[in-house]
Amino acid sequence: MSHPRVVDVVLLTMNDRPAEEKAAQATLLAQRGVDLRICVVGNGCIPDIVPAGARTVVLKENLGIPGGRNAGARALGEAEHPGDCLFFLDNDATFPREDVLSRLVAAAEQHPGAAYVQPRLTGPDDTTSPRRWVPRLRTSDPWRPGTITTMTEGVVLVRRSAFDAVGGWADEFFLYHEGLDLAQRLWSRGSTGWYAAEVRMHHPLTSPARHDQFHRLAARNRVWVAYRNLPAPLIPAYLAIWAFITAVRSARGGGACESFRGLREGWSRRRDQARCPMSWRTVLRLTAAGRPPVI
């Protein structure tokens, strides 16, 4: 790149991972080829670890991950000359090289139709990529770059103009599937996503099921994704497919009662969500990109 680009970085914390957060911030501050503006958001707390010169946002209560990240994005957007790109960083994710952000920005420049660029997320071994971290249906080759229709929320570069145009993350999701919702809304505006598989980031190999509310919130938010984004005729198909998948997964790993409680909650509260169904043209575009929106 001929000159540095400004990247606004939002890092959310609950002061629950001090060692991991120190490592995340150290590798963030080591990035080269970009100008960083950082906002550390205390989600129901005052952040304990804040880099010199960074902004802080202190939320009186835990608003959930999308709500906290929106607060950080707003704070950076209110600054003079906001960056063209936002990077959302989990506080336990690390950059294995000093050029990760500059390469992601370069990928965004090479793919102007992509509203977001996703690096390849691996465990600390630099190799292991669980299925859930590969942002496409065909997960056998996580090293293959290409157009994607969803995202891994905790390490993603998003164009600010596109992010602001769709209203950012869905606050009310609190946790889980906010990336799928955001991706579908960005696609609805004619954009795509790009998987820069050659650019790696590291994350502990933790399971999302470690959170007590995982089964309920994941199921509830699936319903809300469908109601918010899908044409009406596709909603029953989507929910039927995911009810079946949920039943199969629950038989193997438990959580059936909470999962189906979440499905009921999502359906009963669906009208609380802002509905803006995608066009049939977007359905076709998503299908052509390898992920029909009912899957």
Consecutive 10-residue averages of pLDDT for the chain (295 residues): 77 95 97 97 97 96 97 93 94 97 97 97 92 82 92 95 97 96 98 97 83 88 97 96 88 87 96 97 96 91
Cα–Cα distance for residue pair 293/276, rounded to 1 Å: 14
Domain termination site, one of 181, 206, 231: 206
Q: 132 with 220, same domain?
A: no
Half-sphere exposure (CA, 13 Å, Cβ side) for 124? 7
Q: 90 with 39, same domain?
A: yes
Q: Could you tell me which of 39, 115, 31 has the C-alpha nearest to residue 76? A: 39
Q: What is the pLDDT at residue 249?
A: 84
Task: Count CB atoms within 10 A of the CB of residue 271.
Answer: 8
Q: Could you tell me which of 195, 205, 216 has the C-alpha nearest to residue 261? A: 216
Q: What is the pLDDT at residue 210?
A: 64
In single-letter form, the type of residue at position 213 comes to Q
Q: Could you tell me which of 44, 49, 42 has the C-alpha nearest to residue 19? A: 49
Q: What is the pLDDT at residue 183?
A: 98
Cα–Cα distance for residue pair 7/34, rounded to 1 Å: 7
Q: What is the pLDDT at residue 255?
A: 87
What are the start-end ranges of the H helices in the chain?
18-29, 64-77, 100-110, 160-165, 178-188, 214-229, 235-253, 256-268, 280-288
Q: 235 with 90, same domain?
A: no
Q: What is the pLDDT at residue 82?
A: 87
Cα–Cα distance for residue pair 169/234, rounded to 1 Å: 23
Q: What is the pLDDT at residue 79?
A: 83
Q: 129 with 271, same domain?
A: no
Q: 73 with 151, same domain?
A: yes
**Residue 287 within a domain:** no
Full domain range(s) for residue 233: 212-277
Q: 121 with 231, same domain?
A: no
**Residue 90 within a domain:** yes
Q: 21 with 152, same domain?
A: yes
Cα dist from 230 to 115, 190, 233, 242, 277, whole Å = 20, 15, 8, 14, 5
Q: 158 with 219, same domain?
A: no
**Residue 282 within a domain:** no
Q: What is the pLDDT at residue 2?
A: 41
Number of domains comprising the chain: 2
DSSP 78: T
**Residue 283 within a domain:** no
Q: 101 with 180, same domain?
A: yes
**Residue 243 within a domain:** yes
Q: What is the pLDDT at residue 295?
A: 85
Domain termination site, one of 180, 206, 232: 206
Q: Are 221 and 178 in contact (CB under 8 A)?
A: yes
**Residue 285 within a domain:** no
Q: 67 with 196, same domain?
A: yes
Task: Count CB atoms within 10 A of the CB of residue 159.
Answer: 20
Q: 30 with 159, same domain?
A: yes
Half-sphere exposure (CA, 13 Å, Cβ side) for 249? 15
Q: 132 with 246, same domain?
A: no
List of residues 6+ apart from 251 with CB closer than 8 A? none
Domain termination site, one of 159, 182, 206: 206
Q: Find the CATH number of the domain harbouring 13.
A: 3.90.550.10
Q: What is the pLDDT at residue 211?
A: 66
